[in-house]
Amino acid sequence: MKDRFLTAGYRYCFISLLTIVIVCGSVSDGHTQNYYPDDLGNTWTLHSTDGIDERVVTIEGPETIGTESLNVISDGTYPISDPASKNPTRLFIKTTPGGVLIFRAIVSVAILGEITIDYSPPQTFLPDPIELGSEWTVSGEATASLLGLTIKIEATSTAKVIAIADVTVPAGTFQDCLRIEQQHQTQLSPALATLPSTTITMWLAPDVGLVQALDSKNVKFELISHNIPIDGPVVAVEPKWKLATTWGALKKW
């Protein structure tokens, strides 16, 4: 379990933090503020289908960078058997008329420690409008120290909405979910290792957000609970949640 956590947690989070897809908007008109509600305190809990890991995504903040007041996405994957081992990725984001922007990312990588990436200018996390076939690229750089050597890390990710479909998970059946595929490429300088390109996929439901994900190791995570009030075409396994339509802005190596 610990081995899987280190590879599918730390390494996976590092690549994804550069381009994690955070969405919010309406399926009907393509606006971004409907696919990932960013109200403070919103929480999504997913479990891997093999029963080993838990992924918890929470909206925290606000925090200030310069003159900007930003919400923070805390996104961590942990062994279900060891819930105390929490060290999530933190993404500092803001919704604008042109989409969701990322200003900073903080991530812990097993042998490199905590890495901070400041995006200047801020990068587009998710464009607005968004629809089937939408495609965008996010690039980021960071430096880290290993055995006294300064390492430059360059990562580029291309994301594309490849399908819109219904998704059934333990938390219910969600209609018209965006299926977003992200392809990541990372380079180190000096070239200490050759890193293969990786692909991850996530499914985002209108007015709910993240309901399913497939990491670069083909481990599937499914939503088991959330605290987003819902009010639409959702067949809930635990039909205790109500509905709402308020949205804001908002994704392993």
CATH classification at residue 134: 2.40.360
In a domain, 112, yes or no: yes
Least confident of 97-101, 136-140, 233-237: 233-237
Domain of 42 in residue numbering reads as 2-235
Q: Tell me what pLDDT residue 194 has.
A: 61
How, if at all, do strands 135-146 and 113-127 pair?
unpaired
20: Cβ contacts below 8 Å, ≥ 6 apart:
73, 75, 89, 91, 125, 251
Higher-confidence residue: 119 or 247? 119
Backbone angles phi, psi at 2, to 5 degrees: -60, -40
Least confident of 46-55, 184-193, 242-251: 242-251
Higher-confidence residue: 252 or 172? 172
197-208: string of b/e by CB count within 10 Å (b at 16+)? ebebbbbbbbbb
* Tally of domains in the chain: 1
148: Cβ contacts below 8 Å, ≥ 6 apart:
none
In a domain, 192, yes or no: yes
Residue 236, pLDDT above cutoff 80: no
In a domain, 52, yes or no: yes
In a domain, 179, yes or no: yes
Q: Tell me what pLDDT residue 107 has.
A: 82
Q: Tell me what pLDDT residue 193 has.
A: 66
pTM: 0.76
In a domain, 253, yes or no: no
Burial bucket for residue 84 (CB in 10 Å: 0-12, 13-18, 19+): exposed
In a domain, 243, yes or no: no
Please give the distance of CA 159 from its chain centroid, rounded to a whole number: 12
Q: Are 74 and 60 in contact (CB under 8 A)?
A: yes
Quick one: average pLDDT of 29-45? 75
In a domain, 246, yes or no: no
Residue 15, pLDDT above cutoff 60: no
In a domain, 224, yes or no: yes
**Residues counted in the chain:** 253
Residue 11, pLDDT above cutoff 90: no
* Residue 2 pLDDT grade (very low, low, confident, very high; cuts 50, 70, 90): very low
Q: Tell me what pLDDT residue 240 has.
A: 31
Residue 203, pLDDT above cutoff 80: yes
